[in-house]
Chain A
């Protein structure tokens, strides 16, 4: 059934595409030598959400996929460990230069 990571083939494909998008985006920002890795989530639901309801009209919850937004979490500036969240995917990249630039931008 599900893989050790608890992910289906379709989700792994989405993860791969998502990772590629991040790499492309990072390259466009001038980052070099970026390394990315998929994560294993022990706390993920046994099956990832298979369906999503239509968004509520006037509701109070949006998801980032519907709005096209990407959320970035710099986990460790010194190692350049960054989590990139988009839709229902999470991609971990390692890019010290990007982490440093984001840190500078946040000050």
Chain B
């Protein structure tokens, strides 16, 4: 998946497991950027009685690098606290929850937001209410109007924040992809699919009707960029204190400095690029040190697997692999940004430092969804406002990255390279329309979370 359960250790700690990061110029407030970090993957909407919550003992951060060194110049820190209304009850709610302060809601969560920059920490908000999980039509009626929307908080200086449950907007055919790299639309050409007699079929969205927990912040562009540098690098991290002691009363004692346990910039980086034996280590590192992983970008395992899994379909990619050619195209997309001169009128290059960050050129205006140039395939389809220029909620990052690894942009590096004929058909067969609860047109953009009553499994 994008980064759901992508490494052995973090897969056992879902509260701190980042799943997706989005960064885009806000379509309805184009003088702002929206940054979103999702956590707690694959939430079954009916997962009670202890419904999903952020970790009170986790430090969540969204980082912005505006100087190109892979080190944050600005970090937004989020800390959570859970308060029980009726500790003597086992119930999440003792009646319908009609508002964020409803006493029927037993387990409420609140958070603080702090901006940390070169001048130090700047508290932006305290005791901000999260919405409850969307339990069901009886417990959380009229969810968005009564609970979701009121949980959007306007802070000073034009900043908005939201933290709480949302619909999973990332779409991917996990069931097929993790079954020996099968892509249902092309499974008749997959070496194993062909042997099994499979025919081409539409994709199946494995993450549909599941929820995540989202941290979203909308900030004026002027508060994020450095003078003359419109491109920012964005990533999220989660950290835990280094020591945890389980006490006899059932509580845990945490102590020591915070130590990073999860991070995420570009979708699928740790998942698909970094080898299994290094994934936990990668999660502990800062982007500034990503040069040590550059060889996995330059020679990605998946690029070598595609010609094996789909015999005869990728002859030019196979030749590129065989020659041992470093994939400068992927290095640019994932590690430095795309320099000017490769794509007319576009760059999101941040400098020579190789760092996995989602790079957003904030000077590029959002493409209206109604525009002919709007495409969920983003930059490779000519829509410069989409991935890998930042990432919008609707972008088809699975298809974009599959095609990129398959060589669709390599001609930018070597104009003599011929892209394999199959590449425009490479996809897991899904689009954003595969998602039942569609994204919103306003902050926090992610759709209304699925309720447990109507989505019990």
Contacts and interface: CB of A to CB of B under 8 A. Distances in A.
A22 B201 CA distance: 66
Contacts, number: 138
Interface residues on B, range: 35 or more
A63 B253 contact: yes
B121 A61 contact: no
B255 A46 contact: no
B432 interface: no
Contacts of B256: 64, 71, 85, 88-90
Contacts of A51: 77, 79, 112, 114, 121, 123
Contact of A55 (B75, B81, B247, B259): B81
Contacts of A47: 61, 72, 75, 77, 116, 121
Contacts of B57: 61, 63
B291 interface: no
Contacts of A65: 255
A59 interface: yes
A9 B120 CA distance: 10
A56 B120 contact: no
A48 B77 CA distance: 10
B257 interface: yes
B92 interface: no
B80 interface: yes
Contacts of B91: none
A32 interface: no
Given A46-B61, A47-B75, A54-B81, A63 B254 contact: yes
A53 B116 contact: no
A87 to B, nearest CB: 7
Given A51-B114, A54-B81, A87 B255 contact: yes
Contact of A48 (B63, B72, B250, B258): B258
Given A48-B257, A62-B252, A85-B242, A53 B110 contact: yes
A46 B257 contact: no
Interface in B233-257: 237, 239, 241-243, 245, 247, 250-257
Nearest to B238: A45
A50 B116 contact: yes
Contacts of A45: 59, 61, 75, 237, 239, 258-260
B44 to A, nearest CB: 22
Contact of B120 (A8, A59, A87): A8
Contact of B251 (A43, A57, A60, A71): A60
Contact of B56 (A56, A86, A88): A56
Nearest to A11: B257
B56 A61 contact: yes
A51 to B, nearest CB: 5
Nearest to A66: B253
Interface in B280-337: 284-286, 289
Contacts of B344: none
A90 B242 contact: yes
A50 B257 contact: no
B367 interface: no
A69 interface: yes
Nearest to B116: A47
A53 B328 CA distance: 45
A64 B237 contact: no
B84 interface: yes
Contacts of B71: 1-2, 46
A35 interface: no
B75 A46 contact: yes
A43 B260 contact: yes
A104 interface: no
Contacts of B80: 53
Nearest to B81: A53
B155 to A, nearest CB: 14
Contacts of A56: 56, 81-84
B114 A50 contact: yes
A90 B257 contact: yes
A63 B241 contact: yes
Interface of A: 1-2, 8, 41-65, 67, 69-71, 73, 85-90
16 contacts: A1-B117, A42-B284, A44-B257, A45-B59, A45-B61, A45-B259, A46-B61, A46-B286, A48-B258, A50-B121, A50-B123, A52-B79, A53-B81, A57-B83, A59-B56, A71-B245
Closest 5 CB pairs of A and B: A50-B121, A64-B255, A53-B81, A85-B256, A85-B255
Given A45-B259, A49-B258, A50-B121, 10 more contacts: A43-B285, A47-B116, A47-B121, A49-B77, A51-B79, A56-B81, A60-B252, A62-B247, A64-B256, A88-B258
